[in-house]
Amino acid sequence: MPKRMAPLGDQHAPFTFKKGDRVGVRNWNGKPDSESSGVIIGGTCEYDPSDPNFYREETYSVRRNDGRFFRIQGKLLVKIK
pLDDT tens-place string over residues 14-31: 899 999 999 999 999 999
- What structural domains and CATH numbers belong to the chain? 4-79 (2.30.30)
* Residues with Cβ within 8 Å of residue 66, at least 6 apart in sequence: none
pLDDT tens-place string over residues 51-66: 877 778 999 999 999 9
Residue in 47, 22, 21 with CA at minimum distance from that of residue 33: 22
Distance CA 50, CA 48 (A): 6
Predicted confidence band at 68 (pLDDT cuts at 50, 70, 90)?
very high
Mean pLDDT of the chain: 92
Residue in 45, 33, 34 with CA at minimum distance from that of residue 9: 45
